[in-house]
């Protein structure tokens, strides 16, 4: 092994003068180093000038901070009815800037802990956090997953829309540069105040004051820990963590936020454990809307749809001064409210006389407990012992108990009227008009209940579609079905003999409906037809579905009945016709989707069968008020929990649901049947609409296709005869001239036909 001794400077100098090769080598190294150094300096200077120019360019694209003190003028969005009346406005009432002193300490601490822990230490950009996030994103293989924006950067993005929201270097640099400028101009307190006044909390709430009013009906300075955690949770994704539409998502995120508060030392472990599982009590008071009560549930339905469209069409619902033209007719709406109020005046008293709380203490206790748990006093308690004491005190408070009793037993209403040819919603009553609260539960679009016997219509429609006639005879013998090892026997009917589908429809006989599903209209195909006709809810594939065992919203089943009125054509229900900007330029126009889902002959026969329901069936109460051609079906769920009537004329289809928010509350008597509780509301409403002197609706009959003028029925099979049946053909349908409504419209082959004076039969559920 050789060892090389390093030469001294004197030795190198001697060699340099005596060794030419050594001298050339040294010179070459020095020249190379010199060139490399020049290239390096040039590259640095070039990069510096490019970066400087790039940053200068970006700085020129940033808006002036003067815009902070001079925001663009905001204009309310105006909502118009189809008959030209202004029915509502959407705007920001709480846009005035609040100082940080008017925001609760819980809200400030929660915001900083979750969004920007080093807020008081950085100068607008948290460089270590950015590096950390960048490394995490590389490891995850997603460079956009974690952004590491500070509160100041978020404020910059909120204030200056030109910065954009796309994931790009340009946007990040603009955001960072603006954040630094903001930090140089304003104090940390001012930055927090500006941020809290501009950030979006969902449901049209821009700013902390609007959010506090919107969700909790209180000022920002009064927000408690749980409410603050809920609002900060929304910031992550206002749609996904919406506490109104997606309370479970908000609750999960809220628990994470509270854990961060514990982790950062803002709350104790005991407080975290106490509050992380607490329910959130909402007290909705959408301050972004006017005090109009023309059609509050419809207005909110429109607002929700517009809010979902905002990003797609690029408008700000509360600032841009839009003009929204809807389908609602205020004259229809007034008649609907009047019809409901007239029915409820005596109906609520009748129910109150029946209901006995002594026999339903479990329901009362459950609702009292829920009322207490959502109360302010209970939520503000610091320990479990305090909460137990509050609970014990309030559960015996007579005022609390009386309030709960009244709220729980208030009869609720869901009524919606649709033009089946255009899909336009003409009226919507989504709550009891006598006790409704603004932005309470919409019982047209937000509840799902069993539709009872109204669902039989889809079973019989499929049977007709499969070629059977309304006069087809079906056994009324008792039915016993093995379900999971147990025997299920539907009530209603089962008296023996044979009954036609027409009579079974009119009298709502359960056994015949079940046999129809077993023999003529398989349940899986009934589900398929129902979905094609407008039922969006998932339906159970059980035989009991023939009696309405699934759950639907009043809007979707009313829309589905419109197919019968519209000659087999389904039309998507719509509430908005056109959106314009403040200058009258059209932003969007809406044309409903349509499709043929039933043969027009089947649609006609269904209408003719359901005319019988009104003429001599379970909905004869309609004829006390309304005397034009009309068809419909009643529905009454088990133990008289829900009452339904879905009825229609050739011009309008209207659905009525009557029930309670707590499905355990039941009418408990025949007065709670669909024919008595819901059908009279429909009859009154139609009477008021058609008698309105501002309208001139002609008398129309359900359209009968020409190929049904003379249709035969095979006496052997009972099926529609195409001319090949060897047996004697009986005339099933024949064309008649227009006649009075109390005369049977068309003649069917039916050996068990009933007279016009026959009393109503068994009402199924």
CB 534 within 8 A of CB 478: no
CB 459 within 8 A of CB 513: yes
pLDDT score of 706: 75
Name the pairing type of β-strands 77-80 and 323-326.
parallel
Nearest in space to 610 (alpha carbons), one of 638, 590, 635, 593: 635
| CA 451 – CA 641 distance, rounded (Å) | 10
- Produce one character per residue of 280-305: b if its CB has 16 or more CB atoms within 10 Å, e if not: bbbebbbbbbbeeebbbbbbbbbbbe
CB 678 within 8 A of CB 652: no
Range from 127-131, 232-236, 623-627 carrying the lowest mean pLDDT: 127-131
Given pLDDT bands bounded at 50, 70 and 90, which one contains residue 198? Answer: confident
What number is the average pLDDT over the span 69-90?
80
| Angle in degrees, CA 650, 651, 655, rounded to 5 | 95
Residue 138: both structure tokens together:
């590389």
Residue 177 phi, psi dihedral angles, 5° rounding? -65, -40
> Is pTM beyond 0.75 here?
no
CB 686 within 8 A of CB 654: yes
Q: Is residue 342 over pLDDT 70?
A: yes
CB 318 within 8 A of CB 204: yes
Q: Which residues are known catalytic residues?
A: 115, 453
pLDDT score of 492: 87
Q: What is the pLDDT of residues 307-331, one digit of tens each?
A: 889 888 988 888 888 999 999 999 9
Per-residue three-class SS string for 385-424 = HHHHHHHHHHCCCHHHHHHHHHHHCCCEEEEEEECCCCCE
pLDDT score of 41: 73
Strands of 508-663, DSSP E:
569-571, 576-580, 586-589, 594-596, 631-636, 643-648, 653-659
Q: Is residue 583 over pLDDT 70?
A: yes
Name the pairing type of β-strands 586-589 and 486-488.
unpaired
Nearest in space to 633 (alpha carbons), one of 501, 456, 490, 510: 456
Range from 139-148, 287-296, 750-759 carrying the lowest mean pLDDT: 750-759
Q: Is residue 58 over pLDDT 60?
A: no
Nearest in space to 679 (alpha carbons), one of 690, 691, 671: 671
Nearest in space to 454 (alpha carbons), one of 554, 587, 307: 554
Q: Is residue 740 over pLDDT 80?
A: no
Q: How large is the greatest C-alpha to C-alpha distance in the chain, in angstroms?
A: 137
pLDDT score of 753: 32
Strands of 601-748, DSSP E:
631-636, 643-648, 653-659, 711-714, 720-721, 729-733
Q: Residues 6 or more apart from 52 whose CB is under 8 A from it?
A: none
CB 431 within 8 A of CB 462: no
Q: Is residue 123 over pLDDT 90?
A: no
Q: What is the pLDDT of residues 527-570, one digit of tens each?
A: 999 999 999 999 999 999 999 999 999 999 999 999 999 999 99
Range from 109-113, 365-369, 595-599, 726-730 carrying the lowest mean pLDDT: 726-730
pLDDT score of 452: 96
Q: Is residue 71 over pLDDT 50?
A: no
CB 729 within 8 A of CB 713: yes
| Angle in degrees, CA 230, 449, 253, rounded to 5 | 15
Q: Where are the alpha helices (DSSP H) in 541-678?
A: 554-565, 600-616, 674-677
User: How much of the chain is helix, strand and coil, in % rounded to 5?
Assistant: 50, 10, 40
Q: Report the DSSP beta bridge partners of residue 407.
A: none
What number is the average pLDDT over the span 362-371?
92
* Cβ neighbours, 10 Å, residue 25: 12
Given pLDDT bands bounded at 50, 70 and 90, which one contains residue 49? Answer: low
Q: Is residue 653 over pLDDT 60?
A: yes
- The CB-side HSE value for 739 (13 A sphere, CA atoms) comes to 9
Q: Is residue 741 over pLDDT 50?
A: no
Given pLDDT bands bounded at 50, 70 and 90, which one contains residue 180? Answer: confident
* Cβ neighbours, 10 Å, residue 18: 9
Question: Across all residues in the chain, what is the average pLDDT?
Answer: 82
Range from 71-75, 504-508, 577-581, 681-685 carrying the lowest mean pLDDT: 71-75
- In this predicted model, which residue has the larger pLDDT, 508 or 737? 508
Given pLDDT bands bounded at 50, 70 and 90, which one contains residue 749? Answer: very low
What number is the average pLDDT over the span 577-600?
95
Q: Is residue 289 over pLDDT 60?
A: no
pLDDT score of 493: 85
Residue 59: both structure tokens together:
């700085």
| CA 178 – CA 159 distance, rounded (Å) | 10
pLDDT score of 382: 83
Q: What is the pLDDT of residues 470-490, one digit of tens each?
A: 888 999 999 998 877 888 899
Range from 454-468, 636-650, 675-689, 742-756 carrying the lowest mean pLDDT: 742-756
Q: Is residue 170 over pLDDT 70?
A: no
Q: Which of 8-12, 579-583, 740-744 has the highest mean pLDDT?
A: 579-583
What number is the average pLDDT over the span 210-227?
90
Q: What is the pLDDT of residues 234-279, one digit of tens each?
A: 998 998 999 988 899 999 999 999 999 999 999 999 999 888 888 8
Q: Report the DSSP beta bridge partners of residue 594.
A: 571
Nearest in space to 560 (alpha carbons), one of 550, 551, 572, 548: 572
| CA 317 – CA 204 distance, rounded (Å) | 8
């Amino acid at each position: 092994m050789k060892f090389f001794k390093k030469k001294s400077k004197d030795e190198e100098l001697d060699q340099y003068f005596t060794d030419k090769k050594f001298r050339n080598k040294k010179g070459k190294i020095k020249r190379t180093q010199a060139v490399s150094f020049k290239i390096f300096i040039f590259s640095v200077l070039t990069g510096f000038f490019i970066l400087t120019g790039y940053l200068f360019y970006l700085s020129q694209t940033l808006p002036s901070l003067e815009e902070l003190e001079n925001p663009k003028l905001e204009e309310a969005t105006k909502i118009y009815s189809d008959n030209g009346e202004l029915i509502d406005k959407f705007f920001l009432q709480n846009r005035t800037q609040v100082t940080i002193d008017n925001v609760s300490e819980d809200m400030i601490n929660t915001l900083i802990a979750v969004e920007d822990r080093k807020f008081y230490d950085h100068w607008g950009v948290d460089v270590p956090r950015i590096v950390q996030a960048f490394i995490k994103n590389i490891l995850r293989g997603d460079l956009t997953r974690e952004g590491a924006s500070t509160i100041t950067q978020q404020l910059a993005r909120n204030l200056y829309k030109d910065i954009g929201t796309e994931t790009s270097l340009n946007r990040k640099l603009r955001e960072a540069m603006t954040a630094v400028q903001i930090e140089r101009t304003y104090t940390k307190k001012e930055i927090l105040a500006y941020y809290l006044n501009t950030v979006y909390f969902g449901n049209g709430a821009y700013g902390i004051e609007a959010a506090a009013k919107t969700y909790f009906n209180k000022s920002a300075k009064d927000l408690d820990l749980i409410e603050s955690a809920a609002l900060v949770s929304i910031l992550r994704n206002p749609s996904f963590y919406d506490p109104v539409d997606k309370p479970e998502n908000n609750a999960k995120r809220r628990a994470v936020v509270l854990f961060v508060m514990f982790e950062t030392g803002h709350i104790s472990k005991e407080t975290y454990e106490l509050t992380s599982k607490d329910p959130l009590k909402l007290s909705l008071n959408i301050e972004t809307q006017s005090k109009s009560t023309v059609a509050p549930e419809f207005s909110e339905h429109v607002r929700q749809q517009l809010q979902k469209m905002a990003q797609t069409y690029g408008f700000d619902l509360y600032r841009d001064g839009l003009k929204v033209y809807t389908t609602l007719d205020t004259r229809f709406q007034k008649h609907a409210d009047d019809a409901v109020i007239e029915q409820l005046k005596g109906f609520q008293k009748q129910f109150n006389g029946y209901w006995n709380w002594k026999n339903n203490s479990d329901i009362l206790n459950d609702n009292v407990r829920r009322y207490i748990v959502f109360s302010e006093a209970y939520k503000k308690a610091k320990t479990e012992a305090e909460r137990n004491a509050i609970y014990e005190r309030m559960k015996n408070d007579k005022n609390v108990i009386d309030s709960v009793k009244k709220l729980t037993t208030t009869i609720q209403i869901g009524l919606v009227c649709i033009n089946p040819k255009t899909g336009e919603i003409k009226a919507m009553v989504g709550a009891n008009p006598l006790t409704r609260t603004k932005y309470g539960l919409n019982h047209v679009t937000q509840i799902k209940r069993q539709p009872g016997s109204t669902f039989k219509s889809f079973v019989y429609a499929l049977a007709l579609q499969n070629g059977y006639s309304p006069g087809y005879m079906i056994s009324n013998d008792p039915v016993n079905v093995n379900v999971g090892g147990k025997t299920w026997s539907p009530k209603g009917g089962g008296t023996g003999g044979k009954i036609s589908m027409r009579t079974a429809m009119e009298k709502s006989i359960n056994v015949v409906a079940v046999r129809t599903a077993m023999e003529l209209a398989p349940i899986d195909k009934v589900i398929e037809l129902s979905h094609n006709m407008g039922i969006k809810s998932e339906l159970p594939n059980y035989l009991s579905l023939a009696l309405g065992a699934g759950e639907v919203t009043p809007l979707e089943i009313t829309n589905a009945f419109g197919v019968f009125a519209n000659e087999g054509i389904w039309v998507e229900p719509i509430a908005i016709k056109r959106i314009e900007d403040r200058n009258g330029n059209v932003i969007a126009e809406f044309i409903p989707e349509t499709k043929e889902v039933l043969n027009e002959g089947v649609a006609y026969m269904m209408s003719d069968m359901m005319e019988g329901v009104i003429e001599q069936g379970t909905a004869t109460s309609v004829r006390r008020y309304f005397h034009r051609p009309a068809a419909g079906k009643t529905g009454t769920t088990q133990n008289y929990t829900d009452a339904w009537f879905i009825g229609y004329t050739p011009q309008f289809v209207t659905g009525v649901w009557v029930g309670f928010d707590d499905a355990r509350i039941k009418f408990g008597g025949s007065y709670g049947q669909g024919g008595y509780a819901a059908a009279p509301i429909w009859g009154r409403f139609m009477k008021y609409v058609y008698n309105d002197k501002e309208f001139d609706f002609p008398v129309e009959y359900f359209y009968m296709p020409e190929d049904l003028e003379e249709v035969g029925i095979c006496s052997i099979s009972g099926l529609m005869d195409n001319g090949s049946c060897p047996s004697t053909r009986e005339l099933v349908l024949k064309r008649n001239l227009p006649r009075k409504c109390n005369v049977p419209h068309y003649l069917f082959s039916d050996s068990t036909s009933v007279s016009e004076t026959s009393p109503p039969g068994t009402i199924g559920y």
